[in-house]
Amino acid sequence: MGLMNTVLENAPKESSSQKTKSVLIVDDDFEICDMMSYMVENLGMQVIVARNGYEAIEKYKQNMPDIVFMDVRMPEKDGCETLKEIEGFDRNANIVLLTAFSADKCIIELKKIQQVRIVEKPFEMTEIVSILKSM
């Protein structure tokens, strides 16, 4: 956790007058969820975790998070389908897809019809912190 602590120490904290930002992390990999949750909480943001696309849609509707980090390959409902469904009821959804397979058919199709933000696995936590700081 040494490098992560250095990344977190250099990230600005939110002032108490700002609304606490919320981050939905959607991944079937428990280690990724735990690692990202730790980092997000240490940045003073609220963490919401979902393990698949169906759960992500339900938690998105309940919480309307400021940003979503979502794995592409998940059981039951993949990240591409979930992204489309969320954007169907919230056109302003801020979704970042996480994938080790940027050549997936669904990613290529999404790129043809819209601008999508993709972070390739394995990713550096500094990349996630940078995205969070830009919100």
Flag whether 4 is in a domain.
no
DSSP three-state, residue 10? coil
DSSP three-state, residue 124? coil
What CATH number is associated with residue 53? Answer: 3.40.50.2300
- The pLDDT score that the predictor gives to residue 8 is 52
DSSP 8-state class, residue 15:
P
Flag whether 10 is in a domain.
no
Flag whether 13 is in a domain.
no
Q: How many folded domains does the chain comprise?
A: 1
Flag whether 3 is in a domain.
no
pLDDT beneath 70, residues of the chain: 1-18
Domain containing 26 equals 20-130
- The pLDDT score that the predictor gives to residue 114 is 79
Flag whether 110 is in a domain.
yes
- The pLDDT score that the predictor gives to residue 9 is 54
Distance CA 113, CA 13 (A): 36
- The pLDDT score that the predictor gives to residue 28 is 96
DSSP line for 58-123: HHHHHH--SEEEEESS-SSS-HHHHHHHHHHH-TT--EEEEES-TT-HHHHHHHHHS--EEEESS-
